[in-house]
Structure 1
């Protein structure tokens, strides 16, 4: 089931890459909705489930929450390191474009997409409702992943063929990640910890990348409404599943 659902992430990633080649003025609405879906999944489903599965307390704080904060910080650190590397290379090149930087950033996104697939498989081990909610967030977020993978690869001067290769790798990654969980049953405590960690990463992507990008050039009320609608939809899904 997890692999079948991950195929949705595969298709959505390709759709994001296709859109990157044909950008329309409605992109901000799609990203706003994706950000709302991600926020809803983290706050209304991932964290409660992580706290229930990994309930042990470490120095006064639930382990799941510590890993949630750690996931947020790791995502922030990775982004800052990539930004620093881009800035350093930009100073060396007159046009500020170093193809290797684009490929490195795209490769990092491929690795992240593989972990998205693992998260889908892990969530389905908790239950179908949990798996569906996480899959929905991942599928929505993978549109932005595909869009950004193609854009950042080509932005730094790589040929279209390389950009399409990285896009395809990013699309396949969540399917491979989900398939890997079919052979391993993750212990409940470890599963809860991973869901907490993934929740922190997902929240960072929503708060620091997806939503700012959605509102950057289009701070419209419609974008905000899409974000609220995404979070409310997850609330509805969680309520119906419960």
Structure 2
């Protein structure tokens, strides 16, 4: 059952990526929406789930929050190292982004989609009711995953072919993840730790890259409204899933 439901996530991911491609003439609105979706996913979905699954404290701080901060710092470090490397080789001018950063971030989105599938399979292991609740959240928010995967890869100067390849990988990932749960059971603490780390990395991309770029050339009210709308959409998804 979980694999069949994951096919819905597959279709929704591709639809999200298709939408991101169709509105290239409104790039600032796309980026504003993507930033809002990413912020909503982190603050309203990933962190609460991470704290619930891996909330035990390490030296006075919940383990999930430590990994959240670690994910933010690792994302920052990877971007800086790649930027320095590109500058040393003279591959890009000042202010230009290294395409590897976009591919790395998109690959992280693929990994997240894989874990979505694992979480979906694990929920159906618990019971049909739990599976249905998680299925609603996964299928709906995979629209945001597809949208963000394509947008992030494209933002850093990668070709459309590479961005589409990452999108397709993200679409297949939940199906593979759900199928894998037929052979093993995911420890809850590990899942919570992963969600915390990934949430930190995703927040860095949203706050340090996506949103500043959205407002760089078009500091319009409509861009801000798209960001707020993205957060509100994830809030609606989380609320409906409860």
TM range (shorter): 0.7 to 0.9
TM normalised by structure 1 equals 0.78
Q: Which residue of structure 2 lines up, in the alignment, with residue 183 of structure 1?
A: 180
167, 170, 180: which one aligns with 1:174: 170
**Residue deviations 1:150-180 (CA, integer Å, cap 9, x gap):** 56456xxxxxxxx344233212221343233
**Residue deviations 1:12-45 (CA, integer Å, cap 9, x gap):** 33554x45xx841x22112212211221221122
Distance 1:194 1:6 in 2: 22
110, 113, 119: which one aligns with 1:114: 110
Q: Which residue of structure 2 lines up, in the alignment, with residue 59 of structure 1?
A: 59
Distance 2:44 2:176 in 1: 26
Distance 2:89 2:136 in 1: 41
Q: Please show how residues 25-64 of structure 1 align to structure 2 within 5 Å.
A: 26-64=26-64
Paired residues, what number?
A: 223
Q: CA deviation at 1:231?
A: 1.4
2, 6, 12: which one aligns with 1:2: 6
Distance 2:61 2:189 in 1: 15
Q: Is it true that 1:143 corresponds to 2:139 in the alignment?
A: no
Q: Which residue of structure 2 lines up, in the alignment, with residue 160 of structure 1?
A: none
Q: Is it true that 1:86 corresponds to 2:86 in the alignment?
A: yes
Contact 1:32 1:227 in 2 (8 A): yes
**CA RMSD, Structure 1 to Structure 2 (Å):** 2.8
Distance 1:132 1:208 in 2: 30
Q: Pick which of 39-48 and 164-173 moved more.
A: 164-173
Contact 1:72 1:201 in 2 (8 A): yes
Contact 1:2 1:178 in 2 (8 A): yes
Q: 1:38 to 1:3 in 2, by over 3 A?
A: same
Distance 2:206 2:135 in 1: 19
Q: Which residue of structure 2 lines up, in the alignment, with residue 214 of structure 1?
A: 214
Q: CA deviation at 1:139?
A: 3.2
Contact 1:119 1:134 in 2 (8 A): no
Q: Is it true that 1:12 corresponds to 2:16 in the alignment?
A: yes
Contact 2:79 2:101 in 1 (8 A): no
Q: Pick which of 190-199 and 110-119 moved more.
A: 110-119
Distance 1:234 1:150 in 2: 23
Contact 1:63 1:193 in 2 (8 A): yes
Q: 1:144 to 1:233 in 2, by over 3 A?
A: closer
Distance 1:150 1:36 in 2: 17
Structure 2 segments unaligned to the other structure (5+ residues) = 124-129
Structure 1 segments unaligned to the other structure (5+ residues) = 155-162
